[in-house]
Amino acid sequence: MALAHRGMASIEAHRFDLAVVRDTLALCERIGDYHARGSCLNVLGWIHGELQDHEGAVDLNSQSLRSALKRKSPDPECQHNARLNLGDSLMALGRLDEAAEQFQIVERTVRRPQPHEHYMLWRYSQHLFHSYGELRLARGDHDRAFALAGECLALAESSDSKKNIVKARRLRSQVLLARGKPEEATPEIEAALTMARKVGNPPQLWRTLTAFGDLLRANGSGEEAGQAYREALLVIETVAAALDDPALSNIFLSSEQVKRVRHQAGCGAD
């Protein structure tokens, strides 16, 4: 479990230490530690999702979910983390109904937890509120998306979960922009970007820079928007260059999300 968490920490330290997680997964399988194996699959699935390999992430998180359900643990934390990661990748693949199904299962626990279901509830609730808010935004339900972003922000601020403060404020900005209120969106994305720079988490930094670019472009500030997109692209390329898996690096750089950033940065889309 310590090795699995070391892999998670590597992302916060601006690198993706896939070898550590994969080696830990192999160790779990050799010694029959199925609890840690499920966690490793979850971490690995999360990393693949952050690197835009959503097909691979769906497979890994589905394995993690099956492992958690097979153990029949009274504590749902492991299965809910897998469901949330799975929902994120399904959403990225455009499979919104399937993503919603995963989020709704987690929401039932979050809204009415049983006495044995409180372990890490405060943490994965933040993940749920942000991800489900993104899905509601994708479906044009701006009121619900904004409310979920607010729930994420309240929990994140009360627990000083800086990365989730970034995610919540970015989502609030995106909803306000979608509502046609760029003036109200601006302080939200500026606060998100200030926190993202402070935290230094690469996925949250490039996503927030991209959202900032979107807002600047909507406001007619094309040159400043291009600068934000180019900075986002630099973060992306730095991550890709540090990966020890060329195939995954290629998937990341050729993903639709990264192609969009590259195009907006004025660097072409191929």
22 touches 44 (CB < 8 A): yes
In a domain, 154, yes or no: yes
Chosen domain end from 149, 167, 200: 200
Q: 126: domain CATH number? A: 1.25.40.10
Residue 134 sits in the same domain as residue 219: no
Residues 132 and 58 in one domain: no
Indicate whether 78 and 145 sit together in one domain. no
User: pTM for this structure?
Assistant: 0.91
Q: How many other C-beta atoms are found inside a 10 Å radius of the C-beta of residue 72?
A: 7
Q: Residue 62: CB partners within 8 Å, gap ≥ 6?
A: 82, 86
DSSP3 helix / strand / coil % (the chain, rounded to 5): 80, 0, 20
Regarding whether 211 and 196 lie in a shared domain, the answer is: no
Q: Which domain holds residue 174?
A: 120-200
Query: Would you state the pLDDT for residue 75?
Result: 75
> How many independent structural domains does the chain possess?
3
Q: Is residue 42 part of a domain?
A: yes
Per DSSP, 182 falls in state H
Domain membership flag for residue 78: yes
pLDDT per residue as tens digits for the range 106-152:
999 999 999 988 999 999 999 999 999 999 999 999 999 999 999 99
Q: Is residue 90 exposed (0-12), middle (13-18) or buried (19+ Cβ within 10 Å)? A: buried
Residue 223 lies in a domain: yes
**pLDDT recorded at residue 269:** 44
Whether residue 104 is contained in a domain is answered as: no
- Per-residue pLDDT, 23: 80
Domain co-membership, 179 together with 217: no
- Predicted pLDDT of residue 109: 96
pLDDT of residue 20: 76
Decide if 213 is inside a domain: yes
Q: Do residues 231 and 264 lie in contact, with contact meaning Cβ atoms separated by under 8 Å?
A: no
Asked if 75 and 4 sit in the same domain, the reply is yes
Co-location of 80 and 4 in the same domain:
yes
| Residue 72 backbone class (left: φ over 0; alpha: ψ -120 to 50; beta: rest) | left
Mark whether 160 and 215 lie in a shared domain.
no
Which of 157, 118, 116, 111 shows the shortest CA–CA distance to 132?
111
In a domain, 177, yes or no: yes
Is residue 108 included in any domain, yes or no? no
CATH code of the domain in which 59 resides: 1.25.40
Mean pLDDT by 10 residues, the chain (270 residues): 65 65 78 75 91 97 91 82 97 98 98 92 97 98 98 98 98 98 98 97 96 96 97 96 92 97 78
**4 and 84, same structural domain?**
yes
What is the widest separation between alpha-carbon atoms in the chain? 59
* Rounded Cα gap, residues 31 and 28, in angstroms: 5
